[in-house]
Amino acid sequence: MSSLVLTLILAALGALCAVALGQGIRVAYQKDAFGCARCLYIAFSAFIAAYAVAWLGYPAIHQIDLVRNGPISDLGITIVSILLAWALLGGLLFTLGRSLSPEQWFYWAVFYLLAFSYVTVLRERSDFGDVHDYMAAAFNLAHHQKLHSRYLYPPLFATLLQPLVPLGASAIEFTCIAVNFASLLLLFALLQRTLVRYGFAGPTATLLTFVALAANTPVLRTLFYAQPNLHVANLILLSLLLYPKHCFGSAVALAVAAHIKTAPLILVLPFLVNRDWKWLGWYALGLIGVIALTVSINGFGPYRDYLNNISNIYGANGINYRDNSIDSLVRSTYTLFGVNADKATRLIQLVRAAVGVAGLYLTYGAVRWNIFSVSSSTRVARVDNAFPVLLLLMMTLSPLLWEHHPVLILLSSLVVIKNLKGKGEWMLFLVAYFLIFLLPTFDLYPFSYHILVGTLGFYYLVWRFGGRTDRNGAFFTSLNRTIERIPRAFAARRD
């Protein structure tokens, strides 16, 4: 970049800073505190941008000792975390300047509390685990090489990262971290809206979403490994929320999810039962469209590599106790008793078949008895009632079930609250929820398979709900009414 261009950019940023400061002073005289804060934010943002441009454009500045790396820190990750926090502050300032209802105040208060908590946690990481596999896959595609054996996903995710290869590995890593964080914030919004769809009052849905995400081992592990689970969860929820008014968006969202991880293919079942040919047509076009996009860039080779990698899925990671899949439990048990794990294939297939049949039976029961949702439209009711159980089944049948995968069943774990009755069911729910979402990750046979045990607990709860005519428990009804009063109480005090 030439010196003239750098000078013009710095001059423009300086002018923006001066104008924003002047506007801030003018607004301050009008006693508009939020307006003044926003102007100062814009001015300081322009100053930060000018600082960054000067740092990148004038190498001589690097000779001055302006920046130092802290202990057990990565400077790039620190900068990304600070920029995310700064962006959140801007969002907060502009949100506070709007006219908000009590419910909206409550929603945004817990949203920003959650967001700032997680951005602080991100700063404390110096390495993000699986992101290196995605970087390696992106470099493989850019250099026309085979996808490495640890890349167990369809080619779409690596293809999306491929344009960042010329910028280096750090650009891919920081992009994955920032996009994952943005995806967490989107998950808050989509999960809250989905709970409202299932009959939760707005404030109740907001509070439950906050509680579920604020302390959540799978969410933390997803962020710390830069896993794409949050993107898949968001696409699944988006598909559900858009149906049936926007069949195109719903179908394409689920098709893209299936191209990031293939497990969401099972969620097509209720649409097949509905014989919703319009939705299924858009879904097929979405699947084909993504394949056409990736093939036009890299050919069919990455798909062959993907099929080859998943055919040798056990060899990618070996036996790990934190892998909570049925496959891992059976294979590790065989190994501990001195039996070759390769001989466990038939038993694994039998157990998975039994779980699959049981899961489909529970899905049928959930649809028949309208366990989770009562809609005036039979088509919508089928989809709404099938999704929570199919999400559980999707995760349980996976040949790998790592500690970050339960992000995909957050909806399933929360909607059951509607139906809980009696201390026994509440105790079972709390134990299952603790085993899946609150227990830290560890490797100790057989106790490490706590996620699998907790998932079976949710299956049992769904089975108990079948046949009930009074679906919503008294506690849920009371909870909805009580939490609805919280925003109004704060509003009354503020007034």
Q: Is the pLDDT of residue 114 over 80?
A: yes
DSSP assignments along 354-367, one per residue: HHHHHHHHHHHHHH
In this predicted structure, what is the pLDDT of residue 92? 93
State pTM to two decimals.
Answer: 0.93
What CA–CA distance (Å, rounded) separates 96 from 75?
A: 32
Cβ-based neighbours of 13, under 8 Å, separated by 6 or more: 46, 47, 49, 50, 53
**Rounded to an integer, what distance in angstroms lies between the CA atom of residue 431 and that of residue 450?**
10
What is the chain's mean pLDDT, rounded? 89
* Residue % of the chain over a pLDDT of 70: 97
Tokens of residue 145, six digits: 């090489």
**Which pLDDT tens digit goes with each residue over 273-315?**
999 999 999 999 999 999 999 999 999 999 999 999 998 888 7
pLDDT, tens only, 415-459: 999 899 888 999 999 999 999 999 998 889 999 999 999 999 999
Residue 405 or residue 69, greater confidence: 405
Residue identified by tokens 């369809």 is 154
Please check the confidence at residue 492 and state whether its pLDDT lies above 60: no
Q: How many CB atoms lie within 10 A of CB 242?
A: 17
Is pLDDT above 80 for 246? yes
pLDDT digits (tens, 9 = 90+) for 151-178: 999 999 999 999 999 999 889 999 999 9
Q: Name the phi and psi angles at 154, rounded to 5.
A: -60, 160
Query: Could you read off the pLDDT of 180-202 as tens digits, one per residue?
Result: 999 999 999 999 999 999 989 89
Q: What is the mean pLDDT of residues 370-380?
A: 85
| Residue-level pLDDT at 327 | 92
Residue 70 DSSP label: P
Pick the closest to residue 454 from 469, 437, 442 (CA basis).
437
Integer Cα distance of 22 and 43 in angstroms: 9
Nearest to 480 by CA among 207, 237, 209: 207
Report CA torsion sign: 426, 432, 433, 439.
positive
> For residue 268, is pLDDT > 80?
yes
pLDDT grade, residue 470 (50/70/90)? low
Residue 41 burial (CB count, 10 A): 18
- pLDDT for 320 equals 86
DSSP 336-351: HTT--GGGGHHHHHHH
Report pLDDT for 25. 80
Backbone angles phi, psi at 226, to 5 degrees: 55, 35
Task: Name the 3-class secondary structure at 246.
Answer: coil
